[in-house]
């Protein structure tokens, strides 16, 4: 059986120039189960394309959210989008694949452009060959049933973990039978069926990722290749604003033996020494982190890497060991410089702790990237003042930063499925415009200190 795995063209949160890990994991499982994966990466092809087709396609989606939604629900025609989607779909070499899968995940974020892009292309492929379509990307489980109910294009939706759902989906297709226990959402005639509970897999069962070397050539045209990898899944925090699908479900991690083995294989096979880790926080367990760094050194992997981290429980000696083990950048979710707001969001850190860690990173030579959120519930003007004061005190320690307006990050939420017109209104409401203005204000303040938002791939590719 042939399985097509597609990364659709997209723009928005999380869209960095690095091959998608979820596709690499599923491709490896496809081989493992005796089948052939066909990988199609339209995202990177859109970045290297000489014509403006992909740009036009994404502009149409971004500027016509309600119309695109209605078109994909089968409630109205949309000639220009249909034409662009057909041209893009014709670029895909399906090679008679029995099932087509699309990722809608970008670094644990779910931009609506990627979702609509995937469905528009899938619609044309389904019209042509009447193939089965599935979506994946470890998105929040409650979204899965909504996707199937709203969009007849979709036949299956994998739910966390993708690897568990995917193995079961392949077995179902192989046998042609429905199993009593399912780990994915599916449509049977007009009925949507969801799992009784969502199954979390063993991280040891996640295979060594497989990347298509022909597709990697497109990435190498733009940047020095940086491969994604994950050591763990889950988060020790429970921030109320977080949309992570694994929020509140604890931490699972791979054994050090497996991590070192995977990274060694990937580095040699794909000829790169650069990785960005997708974990919610690399310092989820201090003892594990230190052992991880020592294992990298003992096995002489000599890689460079970047990771997310919680600005807490990192001593100077820990940071020095991370630097020695190849860490070049840590990305911290600072969110705010106001102690009151940090306490309200249950952030599990404080400004004093953040400042100490930033100083230690600076002294050690690890670049610090901070993320801020403005417009949080109960945020007052004085809280923005506190955030600016935090930046002013620590600007020499902050290498780069980005600012997000709360609740208008252009990713999928439940309103997106239940009331698309309300979703669109929210993007341009007075409250949203106010948050955008505040976000731009903080961005301008950061720029006074020459602090900009830099792509993680660009940072890791700098000379060290």
Mean pLDDT of 257-269: 98
- Planar angle of CA 158, 159, 164, nearest 5 degrees: 80
Give the model's confidence band at 135: pLDDT under 50 very low, under 70 low, under 90 confident, else very high: very high
Average pLDDT over the chain, rounded to whole? 91
| 427 band by pLDDT with thresholds 50, 70 and 90 | confident
Cβ burial 187-210 (10 Å sphere, 16+ → b, else e): beeeebebbeebbebebeebbbbb
Task: For residues 117-136, give the mean pLDDT.
Answer: 95
Cis peptide bond prior to 161, omega within 30° of 0 = yes
Which one-letter DSSP state was computed for residue 395?
G
Band (pLDDT 50/70/90 cuts) for residue 410 is low
Higher pLDDT, 176 or 106: 176
Instruction: Please write the tens of the pLDDT for every residue from 305-329.
Output: 999 999 998 999 999 999 999 999 9
Name the region of 341 (left: φ>0; alpha: ψ -120 to 50; beta: rest).
alpha
Annotated domain spans of the chain: 2-193, 223-460
Angle at 14 between CA 276 and CA 142, to 5 degrees: 110
- pLDDT value, residue 108: 65
Lowest-pLDDT range of 96-100, 138-142, 294-298: 138-142
Half-sphere exposure of 65 (CA within 13 A, CB side): 21
Would 2-193 and 223-460 be classified into the same CATH topology?
no
State the pLDDT confidence band at 396, using cuts at 50, 70 and 90: very high
pLDDT by residue (tens digit) across 203-249? 999 999 999 999 999 999 999 999 999 999 988 777 766 656 555 66
Query: Which of 12, 16, 9, 4 minimizes the C-alpha distance to 278?
Result: 16
Residue 146: what pLDDT?
Answer: 85
Cα–Cα distance between 383 and 254 in angstroms, integer? Answer: 39
* Banded model confidence at residue 287, pLDDT cuts 50, 70, 90: very high
Contact assessment for residue 348 and residue 381, using Cβ atoms and an 8 Å cutoff: no
pLDDT for 249: 67
Rounded Cα gap, residues 353 and 359, in angstroms: 10
CATH of domain 223-460: 3.80.30.20
**3-state SS assignment for residue 178:** coil
Ranges of beta strands (E only) in 81-131 are 99-103
> What percent of the chain has a predicted confidence (pLDDT) above 90?
68
Higher pLDDT, 147 or 451: 451
Residues 6+ apart with CB under 8 A from 429: none
Question: DSSP assignment, residue 20?
Answer: -
Q: How many residues does the chain have?
A: 464
> Between residues 346 and 91, which one has the greater pLDDT?
91
**Which pLDDT band holds residue 143 (cuts at 50, 70, 90)?**
confident
pLDDT digits (tens, 9 = 90+) for 324-363: 999 999 999 999 999 999 998 888 899 999 999 999 999 9
> Does the structure show a pLDDT above 70 at 411?
no
Residue 227: predicted pLDDT: 98
State mean pLDDT over 18-37: 96
The CATH homologous superfamily to which domain 2-193 belongs is: Cobalamin-binding domain (3.40.50.280)
């Amino acid at each position: 059986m042939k399985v097509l795995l597609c990364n659709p063209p997209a723009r928005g949160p999380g869209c960095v120039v690095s091959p998608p890990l979820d596709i690499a994991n599923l491709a490896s499982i496809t081989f493992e189960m005796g089948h052939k994966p066909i990988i199609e990466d339209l995202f990177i092809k859109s970045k290297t394309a000489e014509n403006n087709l992909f740009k036009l396609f994404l502009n149409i989606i971004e500027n016509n959210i309600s119309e695109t939604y209605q078109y994909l629900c089968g409630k109205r025609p949309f000639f220009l989008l249909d034409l662009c989607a057909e041209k893009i779909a014709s670029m895909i070499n399906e090679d008679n694949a029995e099932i087509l899968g699309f990722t809608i995940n970008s670094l644990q974020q779910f931009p609506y452009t990627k979702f609509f892009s995937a469905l528009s292309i899938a619609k044309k492929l389904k019209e042509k060959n009447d193939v089965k379509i599935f979506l994946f990307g470890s998105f929040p489980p409650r979204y899965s049933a909504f996707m199937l109910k709203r969009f007849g294009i979709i036949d299956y939706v994998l739910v966390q973990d993708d690897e568990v759902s995917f193995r079961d989906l392949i077995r179902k297709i192989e046998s042609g039978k429905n199993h009593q226990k399912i780990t994915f959402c599916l449509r049977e005639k007009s009925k949507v069926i969801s799992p009784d509970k969502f199954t979390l897999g063993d991280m040891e069962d996640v295979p060594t990722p497989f990347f298509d070397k022909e597709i990697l050539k497109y990435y190498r045209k733009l940047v020095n290749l940086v491969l994604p990898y994950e050591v763990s899944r889950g988060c020790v925090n429970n921030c109320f604003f977080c949309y992570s699908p694994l929020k509140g479900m604890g931490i699972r991690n791979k054994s050090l033996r497996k991590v070192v083995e995977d990274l060694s294989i990937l580095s040699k096979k794909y000829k790169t020494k650069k990785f960005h880790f997708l974990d919610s926080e690399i310092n989820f367990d201090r003892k594990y982190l230190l052992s991880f760094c020592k294992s990298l050194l003992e096995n002489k992997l000599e890689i460079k890497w970047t990771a997310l981290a919680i600005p807490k429980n990192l001593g100077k000696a820990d940071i020095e060991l991370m630097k020695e083990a190849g860490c070049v950048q840590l990305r911290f979710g600072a969110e705010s410089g106001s102690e009151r707001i940090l306490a309200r969001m249950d952030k599990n850190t404080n400004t004093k702790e953040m400042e100490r860690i930033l100083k230690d990173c600076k002294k050690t030579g690890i670049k610090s990237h901070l993320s801020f959120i403005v417009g949080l519930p109960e945020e007052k003007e004085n809280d923005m003042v506190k955030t600016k004061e935090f930046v002013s005190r620590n600007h020499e320690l902050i290498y780069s930063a980005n600012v997000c307006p709360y609740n208008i990050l252009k990713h999928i939420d439940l309103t997106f499925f239940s009331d698309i017109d309300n979703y669109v209104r929210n993007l341009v409401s007075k409250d949203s415009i106010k948050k955008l203005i505040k976000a731009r204000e903080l961005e301008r303040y950061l720029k006074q200190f020459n602090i900009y938002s830099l792509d993680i791939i660009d940072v890791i590719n700098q000379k060290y």
